[in-house]
Amino acid sequence: MPNLDSGGAGVRLTPALLRSIFPKAPATIIDAFAEKQGVLSAVGVNQTRQRLAYFFANIHHETAGFTIRGLIENINYTASRMAQVWPNRFKNAAAVQAKYGTASGWQRKAFDDIYGNRMGNRPGTNDGSTYIGRGGPQITGRDGYEQISKRIGIDLVSAPDLASRHDLQPDICAAFWDWKGLNRFADNGDFRGCVKLWNGGTNGLADRQSQLARITKILQGAEWGEIAAAPVKPPPKPVPDPAPPDPAPASQSAPTPQASVWAAFFLAIIAIFRRAK
């Protein structure tokens, strides 16, 4: 298993270069890739410009350049859209509605059915609508979430929304690339093969190819050099216990309590009775 926090040599990704690849991506994602290039070099994805171009072209297509809302797959399909996406399952929109109805939440019911009992999803559960596409690779299926979890050391199965966290995108994308073993496709110039293993088909191939051509040109001007390991944040320094206050000097010590006025009065009365005797 690769160490996703190691450095090494590779294509250097400056914030300006990353911004040209993902013009509309949130700054937090650009910063994450610039700061955590070590996770890419750990799996070899930035050892060649071609590998990086394949990598970023697919990520750009999957997330519209990191602009899709919440970096999560939108499952609020219309019946007609669902029939278009799965023509082998549904002849038309009416067939979709006949199977899942039109009540609120019918799309989740459909995803639990369509994605159930495959990709590691358990039949008869909500896995199909839970483990939908998230993050740069748009990880899909319980198996995918488990595989990425093992590689980055974060439990995405129990908390799948973590796969959309901006600061984790370099780790997740690199782990996905490593899990699928995609270096060999880039090295062989087999972009279609890379897409099929990434996506399970050739969905969006034309856009992916367009992004590949654009990003390849951008990466031609990238520098090669040592890639620093992802920064490790030091643990917070413990807050020292407050020092006990210095003892007050003798001159400031509390005054000795004086005898009570009533006590003095009673002593005087006793003395008078003794003299009377």
Which pLDDT value is given to residue 240?
44
**Structure confidence by residue, pLDDT tens digits, 8-24:** 678 999 999 999 999 99
Domain of 195 in residue numbering reads as 8-73+133-227
Q: Quick check: 112 and 127 in contact, CB under 8 A?
A: yes
Average pLDDT, the chain: 86
Domain total of the chain:
1
- Over residues 162-172, the pLDDT tens digits come to 999 999 999 99
Domain-embedded: residue 235: no
Whether residue 242 lies inside any domain: the answer is no
Residue 244 reports pLDDT greater than 90: no
Of residues 119 and 259, the one with the higher pLDDT is: 119
Rounded distance, CA 188 to CA 50, Å? 10
Host H or E run for residue 11: strand 8-11
26 in a structural domain: yes
Is the pTM higher than 0.75? The answer reads yes
CATH number at residue 144: 1.10.530.10
Residue 193 lies in a domain: yes
Q: At what angle do helices 191-199 and 205-219 cross, to 10 degrees?
A: 120
The answer to whether residue 204 is domain-embedded is yes
pLDDT, tens digit (0-9, with 9 covering 90-100), for 219-234: 999 998 887 765 544 3
Say what the pLDDT of residue 243 is. 45
